[in-house]
Structure 1
């Protein structure tokens, strides 16, 4: 099932407690571009198929990453890309967007996504995994 753009942004806006949809949109664009650099092949394509079209395109045309970022570096990179963000606000942004992405992905696809990411991303998606 593909989510509608408005439903996606409403969810991110609510979870991020943003004052405007524009703030949610900015966070979603940056975070999906960073996430896309970490996912490959069918996993990235399957997630993109569930996202609203403009966000799917961002995921499929990611920012280039020389190496997988640890969760901490992912948050720092998010802070660097969002004007005026701090690591604390970026953590909030990442949580709002990735928990929404986790809902869209569903448990099976999310499990496959987490296998492609460094340890600790389960917490960023709001889905702590047993160790």
Structure 2
């Protein structure tokens, strides 16, 4: 079931405590573009099917990554794409967006997403896994 744009952005805005909808939208677009570069095949398509159409398009047409980014480098890349962001604010942005993604994706899909990512992303999605 695809989540509607307004509901997704409202959830990110609430989770991230953003003063404006525009800030939640900007964070969502950047994080999805970076995440899309790390996911492939059926997992990426299934996740896109649950996102609002605008974000599904961003996820399916990602920025190109030459190698998988560690969680720290993912946060630094997010900070580089968001004007005025620091690593601290980018960590907040990434967690706000990915925790909403995790909620709508469900446990099974998120576990399959995490299998395609370097170790440590479970914390960014708000789904820590014991080692």
TM-score range for the pair, normalised by the shorter chain length: over 0.9
Pairing 1:1-20 to 2, within 5 Å after superposition: 1-20=1-20
1:50-105 CA-to-partner distances (Å, cap 9, x unmatched) read 00001100000000000000000000000000000000000000000000000111
1:92 is matched with: 92
Aligned residues: 131
Partner of 1:102: 102
* Structure 1 residue ranges, 4+ long, deviating more than 3 angstroms after superposition: none
Aligned mates of 2:65, 2:104 — CA distance in 1? 24
Alignment RMSD: 0.4
Q: Tell me the equivalent position of 2:23.
A: 23
Which residue is equivalent to 1:112? 112
The residue number in structure 1 matching 2:47 is 47
TM-score (norm 2): 0.99
Q: Give the Cα separation in 2 of the matches to 1:54 and 1:7.
A: 13
Q: Partners in 1 of 2:73 and 2:85 — Cα distance?
A: 14
